[in-house]
Chains A and B, each alone.
Chain A
Amino acid sequence: MDFIIILQNLLNGFGNTVLLFAITLIAALPLGLLIAFGSMSKFIPIKAFCRGLVWVIRGTPLLLQVLLVTLVPFYVFNIGNTEIISFLGIKMKTLLFSYACLAFIINYGCYFSEIIRGAIESVPKGQFEAGKVLGMTKGQIFRKVILFQVIKKSLAPASNEIITLVKDTALASIAGVIELYTSAEHLVNQFIVLTPLLYAAIFYLIFNGVLTLLFAYLEKKMSFYKE
């Protein structure tokens, strides 16, 4: 019967891992695009802000960032978590999960922004110029000419980051989120066996295995042209 309980707990944890992963991915990609544009902006304050943000976020541990986000409301604004949850009418669990999401989204947004910026800057200038000469607007040039090339160029480096993200979700434990790793750890302490950790490893491997296949498929899909 222990096995069933262990599996149930791990599945719950895995659910949180997948949710954190999905929310981070969905929000961090557009945020990354935004920060990438910001870092290339001709308006110096925006450019400086974005480059500075990326420098700070990439230069400090994600673990530290997650912890910091959970502490800011109380230590900076002097608002306790209990006040926040009663004000918003949400569960404590949800609040802690949101903190983790926020930290992850900012962190991965910065990493993605550098990948996207590199990709945009590596699209030959002639592509922009050809669009201009054909009377396209800046928006049309970006959407119809540049974007697809940027996606193709970003795919391999982004898939590396995304696979790292799967494993990084374990860091949400510092915010009190019971994701896959934390649930395994709890089970180890509860049942005094190591198998939950082994199972957790298998979960991570399967998840990343599926992602690896997916990225290989996408890369193949996009290989219909070469430069």
Chain B
Amino acid sequence: MSFFEVKNIYKSFGNAQILKGINFTLEKGEVVSIIGSSGSGKTTLLRCLNFLEFADMGTINIGGEEIYNAQKNYNDAELRANRLHFGLVFQSFNLFPQYSALKNVQLALDLQTKERLQKQKASKAELKEALAKNMQIATDLLEKVGLGNKIKNYPCELSGGQCQRVAIARALALKPEILCFDEPTSALDPELTGEVLRVIKDLRSAERGMVIVTHEMEFAREVSDKIIFMADGVIEEMGAPEQIFENPTRAKTKSFLKNYVHR
């Protein structure tokens, strides 16, 4: 049994069947990259994993526990709790524009701390201490992504690459067990992709698994334990990076990779 198991995920929008039975597993400490042409359902898959969309069929297990089953209904509180297993870094960053980099990273953490301490009827001093600790965590994370000198800046004062690094720090603050990236460098100018990819590469850790949707083939090859090639809502081919990139077996994989190299 694997740490993270995605079983038989189906998803349609109206009449359009977008995901047609997605199965894969991931261990903590592993990185899987998902490649495939645009429209193949990669974003939809990540959104189903983060419960921004709900799969019509299938189950999701983490650590042996079933956290999603399409047959069941989940209330808001359960969804929230289940979402916290995951983090998602968006293509378009989606930073909160009215908050500094630090506050962006700290906000969700603070809200959780406040909720928890209120339940425990903690004193003001305890709350203050906990919030100061959060601030330290957020500062450390921003330093880790190379933005220790930008913590007071607002997103509009940062470059795209810096914004995406803040977004990564923000996702890390909640210590997700599965961290997902949806084309994290697609919205960036080419000269800024390097800094973001370097940060992502450094995130490999025994504490979490990572699912990365990307068009950066070199990067995917270097960073991943496993590559998933998606086409038309199915996993057309899955395997070790060397196998997928050097000896693809399926015709669709071959033509996708060929087009990619030539583009």
Residues of chain A whose beta carbon lies under 8 Å from any beta carbon of chain B = 124, 126-127, 129-138, 140, 144-145, 148-149, 152, 224-227
Contacts and interface: CB of A to CB of B under 8 A. Distances in A.
Given A133-B52, A135-B80, A136-B108, A126 B98 contact: no
Interface stretch (B85-93, B196-204, B231-239): B85-93
Given A130-B90, A132-B52, A140 B98 contact: no
Interface of B: 50-52, 76, 80-81, 83-84, 86-88, 90, 92, 94-98, 107-108, 111-112, 154-156, 170-171, 174
B57 to A, nearest CB: 22
A137 B80 contact: yes
Given A144-B107, A144-B111, A133 B88 contact: yes
Given A133-B52, A133-B88, A140-B111, A124 B94 contact: yes
A145 B107 CA distance: 10
A129 B94 contact: yes
Given A224-B154, A226-B97, A137 B112 contact: no
A137 B81 CA distance: 10
Contacts of B95: 130
A135 B108 contact: yes
Nearest to A226: B156
| From B76, B111, B154, residue with most partner A Cβ within 10 Å | B111
A127 B90 CA distance: 11
B112 A126 contact: no
B94 A135 contact: no
Contact of A135 (B84, B92, B96, B156): B84
Which residue among A126, A135, A224 has the maximum number of chain B CB atoms within 10 Å of its CB? A135
A152 B96 CA distance: 13
